[in-house]
Amino acid sequence: MMRSKHSRIEWLLGELSVFLVVFLLASGAMAQQKIKIGVSGPMKFQWGKSQLAGSQVAMEEINASGGILIGGGKKQIELVNADSNEYQSVVDAVSSIKRLIAVDKVNFVVGGARSEAILAQQELLPDYRIIYLFCGGGSPALQASLVKNYDKYKYFFNMFPVSIFNFKSNCAVLEMVANKIRQELGISKPRVAIVMEKAKWTDAVVDATLEILPKIGMEVSGVWRPSPFASDLSSEITALKAAGTHIIFEMFTGPASMILNKQVSELQIPVAVVGVNAEGEVGNRYWKETQGMCEYETIIAGGYSDLQVTEKTVSAYNKIFNKLGGLVPTISGFMAYDAVYVLKDAVEKSGTLESDPLVAQIEKTNLVGTQGKVVFHPKDNNLCHNVMWGPGYYTIPLFQFREGKMVGVWPSGHSPHQAIGAGPGWEGFRYKGTQEFKLPPRMVKYWKK
């Protein structure tokens, strides 16, 4: 029997409706196979680029193995990249993460850099109940939020042992340098110039350093707080030399670190430069851009290819290095890599993507990362949700530039002074490939008695 023209149209529309329903259901099922992780960071800078590269490497490894096991099956990871522009704008940083959460519908966020921006971003987490694994440095104020109001800010975790590292690890390194000065130059009380960018994350570091240094037999020759984007530090350098400085304790995320070290070299200032230098962590590029003037500078970094912090370090380094087109990754790349694995571990053990039970599971994290074992301080601790620091945990080595190479020099295998409060287990603790710290030759020549 022939269908009328009208009935044929109805039949076609019905078939089309069925097709659309099936297509939409299939599309929804496909979408549900993805776990979306937002990567938020200053992507115009190497800190953010390293975070993205580290996350990508972890994602590729996990996806190649089938994905994250949940609900009896495996889901692939999808990364959503967002340039937070947080070095320049807190407003941009807030808009960036809000877009990741509200528009891109990510399940989690990793990344971050500048404390002022992260403090503002923290305020969004309770509203959306989104877990954020911070892979920057940051101010102790980030943990203070959790201590004051755990229920509100519990979705925030810090992959960097910021509070302990900045106050205790750096002082332990300064003590190592001071002991070398005492041994080789006969100077009993080395003088330290604190030269740190004017930012919230360094404020507490300055205060703690001023308190600790006199207790470990060192003097402070002065405190200088330039902009992270300063283009000339000659006046600060001239002043600290006049103050009889032996060690410059630096902390910079911006390009001012390069200016500092170039001018110290050009002016032949007889000092050892030690501390945090985000630009300097990109060792091969930094060496070229400073024309080798960073020789003997000692900075934190995320594990160079010839220093095996854990069984994961070298493999992760090589993959992130290649992902960055042959540039040495900053520590942020390793933290982001480990953060993705922390999320995988928590999802698989909890069997859910719901934030509250996942928070409880992340608090139980105990896995080997690229920089040591990843374990978080418990919620009743004043370092709540901050990764633990110390032998066997996330220590993060320091490197010294020598003839264009980054040589691991700390942990040195010696116990820090008791006043530093670094805890037990340091005697004999060092990584394979670690070498002895060396004073700059111009310093030895100038100060040796």
111 Ramachandran zone, left/alpha/beta (phi>0; psi -120 to 50) = left
47 assigned to some structural domain: yes
The reported pLDDT for the residue numbered 368 is 96
Quick one: 303 and 315 in the same domain? no
Quick one: 170 and 237 in the same domain? yes
Asked if residues 112 and 136 have their Cβ atoms less than 8 Å apart, the reply is: yes
The reported pLDDT for the residue numbered 254 is 82
* 183-187 contacts, C-beta under 8 A, 24 or more apart: 184/439, 184/444, 184/448, 185/246, 185/439, 185/443, 185/444, 185/447, 185/448, 185/449, 186/448, 186/449, 187/246, 187/447, 187/449
Quick one: 139 and 239 in the same domain? no
Quick one: 332 and 257 in the same domain? no
Quick one: 295 and 360 in the same domain? no
Domain count, the chain: 2
Quick one: 69 and 116 in the same domain? yes
The reported pLDDT for the residue numbered 139 is 77
The reported pLDDT for the residue numbered 204 is 82
The helix/strand/coil state of 107 is coil
The reported pLDDT for the residue numbered 141 is 83
16 assigned to some structural domain: no
CATH of the domain at 343: 3.40.50.2300
Quick one: 177 and 301 in the same domain? yes
Quick one: 158 and 180 in the same domain? no
- Residue located via tokens 């201590």: 147
Quick one: 103 and 123 in the same domain? yes
154 assigned to some structural domain: yes
Quick one: 403 and 262 in the same domain? yes
Q: Both tokens of residue 6? A: 């009208």
The reported pLDDT for the residue numbered 388 is 92
pLDDT in tens, the chain (449 residues): 444 555 555 544 455 444 443 344 344 444 457 999 999 999 999 899 999 999 999 999 999 999 999 999 999 999 999 999 998 999 999 999 999 999 999 999 999 998 889 999 999 999 999 999 999 877 788 888 899 999 999 999 999 886 555 567 788 889 999 999 999 999 999 999 999 999 888 888 898 889 999 999 999 999 999 998 899 999 999 999 999 999 999 999 888 999 999 999 999 999 999 998 888 888 889 999 999 999 999 988 766 667 888 999 999 999 999 999 999 898 999 999 999 999 999 999 999 999 999 999 999 999 999 999 999 999 998 889 999 988 989 888 889 999 989 999 999 999 999 998 888 999 999 988 899 999 999 999 999 86
Enumerate residues 6+ apart whose C-beta is below 8 A from 286.
Answer: 258, 277, 279, 280, 294
Quick one: 106 and 209 in the same domain? no
Quick one: 109 and 132 in the same domain? yes
Asked if residues 321 and 281 have their Cβ atoms less than 8 Å apart, the reply is: no
Alpha carbon 400 to its chain's center: 19
Range of the domain at 368: 31-162+311-374
